[in-house]
Amino acid sequence: MTARERVLAILNGNMPDCVPWLGDLDYWATALVGRGQKPQGFQKSPAYIDWHRDLGVGFYLQGYFPFKTIVENCEVKEWKEGVCRYRQITTPKGTLRECWQWMPDDFTEGPIEHLVKTAGDLPAYQYLHANTRYEPDYDFARQRVEQLRQTGAGVMLAYLPKSPLMQMVALDAGIMAVVDMMSDDEGLFTETLAVVKQSHDRAARIAVDSPAEVLMMPENLSSEVVGPALFEQFMRPYQSEWAAAIKAAGKYSCIHLDGTLKGLLKQECGVGLNFIEAMTPAPVGDLAVDDWAGFCGNPDTILWGGIPGGYFTALVTDAEFDRHVRQVLSVMRQSPRYVLGVADQVPPGGLESRVRRVRDLVDEYGRY
């Protein structure tokens, strides 16, 4: 069977010939391009799919939003100063500014100044989202779906927007500012999330209608940051609504949960999603793969992940890598409700030999 046939079998409640192995290689590929080891544009080229096939890894993820975001009735300025990227948005309700700093050794960026800093920024943030529109951007999805159907290399996944709360926690404000704003003016904060939801709903509808076969809400969750209380109040309604819409469209839904699991796994498994993706096991995470199924409480939820990203680097010995993957496979081959994946991504320091090794281990130890 192909990687595509295997994962579709699991998603449809059937048993493939062995445990599917699909990995997120996007971060690793970004580093390879940055070092000049892969050409510019590599990740959007057909060669990217061929690379997955050569490595024996099923393809599914590369951070793709199938819509364009257009801000209206605001003055938007963007500029760079050295390794810092700035964006300033001037609205009739106030001015918002953020700064993200590029980390060249890590091939990623992080916020050093958030867009939303205090409750005083919320009226401007509301105005920004009320004046944001979205347009379909489907060409790349059409291209990828056709490539994947022809090659059998995997499935095409696209992103919805994050839930409004996680938009603020992960990107626009940070958890400390979110907690402060809730304490300072809970009514205004809740009103703001409602405005953001109206905006995100417009984008989510475009994503669901795209050619993508799988739709992810890229929440980037970890249970020590957002626990059950915030989840129930602010996230479950959004996720449940769009999980149902994705199902009605005949597609597959998932959430990205790549941190600690115990505080949110049961809740997420009750949303109605097809699978939970990028699950990080002990010893890096807080729940062993052996305990995933019993803890999640929903026998219909597919559990996807199992190999921590750091295990693909020289920080872990070859012997420990093999031991861990064999142990994960000993659990996953017992039932067709698992997909072996990276938790969360193969990092810039990833070893090609480790990525290739997984295919050998699956072929030997991943048969049902």
Contacts of 187 (CB under 8 A, 6+ apart): none
Query: What is the token pair recorded at 64?
Result: 């793709």
pLDDT in tens, 240-264: 999 999 999 999 999 999 999 999 9
| Domain carrying residue 272 | 3-69+134-365
In a domain, 201, yes or no: yes
Distance CA 214, CA 142 (A): 13
Distance CA 74, CA 90 (A): 6
In a domain, 184, yes or no: yes
DSSP per-residue string spanning 113-171: E-S--SGGGHHHHHHHHHTEEEEE--HHHHHHHHHHHHH--B--EEEPPPPHHHIIIII
pLDDT at 94: 98
Nearest C-alpha neighbor of 29 from the set 70, 57, 71:
57
In a domain, 326, yes or no: yes
In a domain, 96, yes or no: no
Q: What is the mean pLDDT of residues 189-201?
A: 98
pLDDT in tens, 313-358: 999 999 999 999 999 999 999 999 999 999 999 999 999 999 999 9
In a domain, 84, yes or no: no
Query: What is the token pair recorded at 223?
Result: 């249970």
| Tally of domains in the chain | 1
In a domain, 244, yes or no: yes
pLDDT in tens, 265-296: 999 999 999 999 999 999 999 999 999 999 99
Residue 62 has pLDDT above 90, yes or no: no
Residue 11 has pLDDT above 90, yes or no: yes
Contacts of 237 (CB under 8 A, 6+ apart): none
CATH number of 57's domain = 3.20.20.210
In a domain, 92, yes or no: no
In a domain, 102, yes or no: no
End-to-end CA distance of the chain: 14
